[in-house]
Amino acid sequence: MPAPPDPADEADPRREPSLGEAELAQVITRFEARLLARIRLMMGPAARECLESSDVLQDVFVEALRNLRAGDLGDERLFLRWLTAVARHHIVDEVRRRREGTLEALSSELIAAGEPSIAAQLTVEERRQRLVEALEELDPVRQRVVELRALEGWPWQRVAEELERSEEAVRKLYHRALLELGEHLGKDGTGLP
């Protein structure tokens, strides 16, 4: 996905015009559920303490849609990948901002409370990030069935209705998607927490 639009491009007559309100609403509707599922997956316990997933979603859409042009949506997969990266950076920045100056105190509290070390928490975050990347490698239908079933917690019947397939078909899709995720996660020797 190309970098976010440069405001200097607005003077370029070859640049496509900005999207209107109706088009922006369609973009939000099309990507909202998938992006929210990814945001929830990326937000570990530390992020959940100081952030709401719906707030992150809103901030990401504000940032991403500010200068969005029709041509930026050419490849939905790349656009979703870019939105996911924007969300990841937003989460990391917010958590980092709130932790500034308190890292030593946090470490002391974690050790005193018998909580996992910061290094252990980072390992969990790295694994969570690898899972997001592996999800992005799945084909869109398998990706969607995992998002709906595992991340959103939908029952099989509702997933089947959403994807306009039989329950048996979505169960098989889900199983194959999990196998494929396992293969992707196994590439670099890391697994899930």
CA dist 56 and 39 (Å) reads 8
CA dist 181 and 135 (Å) reads 7
Asked whether the predicted pLDDT for residue 183 surpasses 80, the reply is yes
Helices (H) and strands (E) in the chain, counts: 9, 0
- Min mean pLDDT across 7-16, 93-102, 146-155, 169-178 is at 7-16
CA dist 4 and 192 (Å) reads 31
Question: How is residue 153 written in tokens?
Answer: 């917690």
Residue 118: per-residue pLDDT: 55
CA dist 16 and 49 (Å) reads 41
Q: Are 169 and 160 in contact (CB under 8 A)?
A: yes
Q: Quickly tell me which residue has 């870019």 as its tokens.
A: 82
Element (H, E) at 27: helix 21-42
Count Cβ atoms within 10 A of the Cβ of residue 171 and give its class: 0-12 exposed, 13-18 middle, 19 or more buried.
middle
Q: Name the residue with higher pLDDT: 71 or 17.
A: 71
Q: Name the residue with higher pLDDT: 150 or 191.
A: 150
> Domain coordinates of the chain in residue numbers?
15-100, 119-193
Residue 121: per-residue pLDDT: 58
- What is the overall mean pLDDT for the chain? 74
DSSP β-bridge partners for residue 18:
69
Residue 160: per-residue pLDDT: 94
pLDDT tens profile 119-161: 665 576 777 778 788 888 888 899 888 888 887 788 999 999 9
Share of residues in the chain with pLDDT > 90 (%): 9
Read off the pLDDT band of 170 (50, 70, 90). very high
Q: Are 127 and 190 in contact (CB under 8 A)?
A: yes
Residue 11: per-residue pLDDT: 47
Q: Are 40 and 48 in contact (CB under 8 A)?
A: no
Residue 146: per-residue pLDDT: 85
Q: Does the 119-193 domain belong in CATH 1.10.10.10?
A: yes
